[in-house]
Amino acid sequence: MKKSTKELQKIKGVGEILAKRFIRAGYDSFDRIAAAEKTELKSIQGINPQTIPSIIKQAAALAAEKSAERARKITELKAAAAAIREQVDGLGRAFKERAGENPQGKRGKKIEAGLIKTVTALEKAEAKIEQRVKRAGKGLAKAGQRLSGLNADTGADKVSSRLKKARKSLKRIYD
């Protein structure tokens, strides 16, 4: 509730008490206030009827701003997911070149399976980016860190371990 009251206080003319009253009346976001009718807002105790049009206008502007910020963040997250996908694909190509077309032994197959699982986890995470923006940001950043510095010269055990950790970070997005 604290966060919502702080958010609503960004509207000029809305203080802490009035913000709490807005929330109690069911207007806990800029979108809801912007969509409200003047007569509905008049029923809130302590609101000046002359400021209602200004409050609605400000709420609409803040809602649009928040929506634009969210869209920008989603675009950034999709770009980060694409970069991770490219990194995993490049890692897969590098290992295939090093080992020939067929992975060598148990470790090679383990890395190949890990790469496939990581791509699958990334696809599932990409599907949830729009619903879980904050969590996706953290998960993609963590997965990117775990995969950074890996190349064909990196040891098989280290690659396998880092892929597993990256998948764990991605799994938190869609679970």
- The reported pLDDT for the residue numbered 151 is 74
Could you state, in order of their start, the residue ranges of all structural domains in the chain?
2-50, 69-174
CA distance linking residue 76 with residue 73, whole number of Å = 5
- The reported pLDDT for the residue numbered 103 is 58
Q: How far is CA 36 from CA 17, 20, 43, in A?
A: 19, 16, 12
**Residues 55, 15 contacting (CB under 8 angstroms):** no
Of 88, 164, 172, nearest in space to 124 by CA = 172
Indicate the pTM of the whole model.
0.78
Q: Which two tokens stand for residue 118?
A: 């990581």
Of 90, 106, 104, 102, nearest in space to 152 by CA = 90
Amino acid at 130: E
> Could you tell me which CATH number the domain at 2-50 has?
1.10.150
**Residues 46, 18 contacting (CB under 8 angstroms):** yes
CA distance linking residue 88 with residue 80, whole number of Å = 12
Q: Which residues contact 25 (CB under 8 A, 6 or more apart)?
A: 43, 44
pLDDT along the chain (175 residues), means of 10: 83 94 93 93 93 95 95 96 93 77 70 90 94 94 90 78 93 92
